[in-house]
Amino acid sequence: MLQRIIAALLLVGGLVAVGLGVASATVWRDSDTVVATTAYTGDGTVLVTAPGVLDLVAEDVTIRATAPGEQQVTLAIGREADVTGWVGEDPHGLVTGLSDWDALATRAVDAPAAEDEPAEGETPADGESPAEGESPADAEAPADAESPAEGETPAEGETPAEGDAAAEAPVVGVDPAGSDMWLEEATGAGSASLRWSDQPGRWQLLAAGVGEDAVAPTVELSWPRQVETPFLWPGVIGGAVLILLGLGIGAASLRPRRRGPSGGTTTSATPAVAPAGTTAGTSSDDADAPDGEVPTDTAQVRMLTRRELREREEADRLAQQQARAQKPRRAWLTGQIPIVARGERRPRTAAQPTVDASAHPTTEDSASTRADAWRRAWGFTPGSDESAPAPAPESDPDETKDSTR
Residues 322 and 203 in one domain: no
Instruction: Note whether 6 and 59 are same-domain residues.
Output: no
State percent of the chain over pLDDT 70: 58
Q: 285 and 278 in contact (C-beta within 8 Å)? A: no
Q: How confident is the model at residue 348 (pLDDT cuts 50, 70, 90)?
A: low
Same domain, 249 and 284: no
Question: Which of 393, 396, 373 shows the shortest CA–CA distance to 383?
Answer: 373
147 within domain boundaries: no
Residue 207 placed within a domain: yes
Q: Hey, is 197 helix, strand or coil?
A: strand
Closest CA to 161 of 127, 121, 112: 121
Model confidence pLDDT, tens digit, residues 102-124: 899 999 888 777 655 555 555 55
Compute the distance between CA of residue 262 and CA of residue 298 in angstroms, rounded to an integer.
10
Count of the separate structural domains present in the chain: 3
Is the pLDDT confidence value at 370 over 70?
A: yes
User: How many whole angstroms separate alpha carbon 156 and alpha carbon 133?
Assistant: 30
Pairing between β-strand 258-259 and β-strand 265-266 as defined by DSSP bridges: antiparallel
Q: Is residue 189 part of a domain?
A: yes
Pair (65, 213) in one structural domain: yes
Distance CA 240, CA 15 (A): 8
Measured on CA atoms in the order 278, 279, 284, 285, is the torsion positive or negative? negative
| Tens-place pLDDT, residues 73-87 | 999 999 999 999 999
Residues 24 and 38 placed together within one structural domain of the fold:
no
How big is the CA angle at 111 (ends 78 and 67), to the nearest 5 degrees? 60
Q: pLDDT for 259-296, tens place per residue? A: 555 444 444 444 444 444 444 444 444 444 444 444 55
CB 247 within 8 Å of CB 7: yes
Beta strands at 103-109 and 92-100: parallel, antiparallel or unpaired: antiparallel
Q: Are residues 178 and 276 in the same domain?
A: no
* Together in a domain, 98 and 242: no
Query: Is 359 domain-assigned?
Result: no
Task: Say if CB 279 and CB 321 are below 8 A apart.
Answer: no
Question: Above 60 in pLDDT, residue 171?
Answer: yes
How much is the average pLDDT of 243-268?
71
Is the distance from CB of 392 to CB of 370 less than 8 angstroms? yes
- Domain of residue 270 covers 264-288+295-326
Alpha helices in 60-120 (DSSP H): 80-87
Nearest 5°: CA angle at 43, between 114 and 72?
125
> DSSP letter at 180?
T
8 & 88 share domain: no
Domain membership flag for residue 190: yes
Q: Are strands 203-212 and 172-173 parallel, antiparallel or unpaired?
A: antiparallel
Residue 358 lies in a domain: no
Q: Are residues 185 and 299 in the same domain?
A: no
What's the confidence (pLDDT) of residue 64?
94
Number of other CB atoms surrounding residue 194 within 10 Å: 18
Euclidean distance between CA atoms 97 and 104, whole angstroms: 6
Q: Are residues 249 and 217 in the same domain?
A: no
Identify which of 95, 105, 111, 91 has the alpha carbon closest to the alpha carbon of residue 45.
91
Nearest to 64 by CA among 182, 175, 239, 207: 207
Q: Give the pLDDT of residue 169.
A: 56
Quote the pLDDT of residue 47.
93
322 occurs within a structural domain: yes
Residues 20, 42: one domain?
no
71 plus 101 within the same structural domain: yes
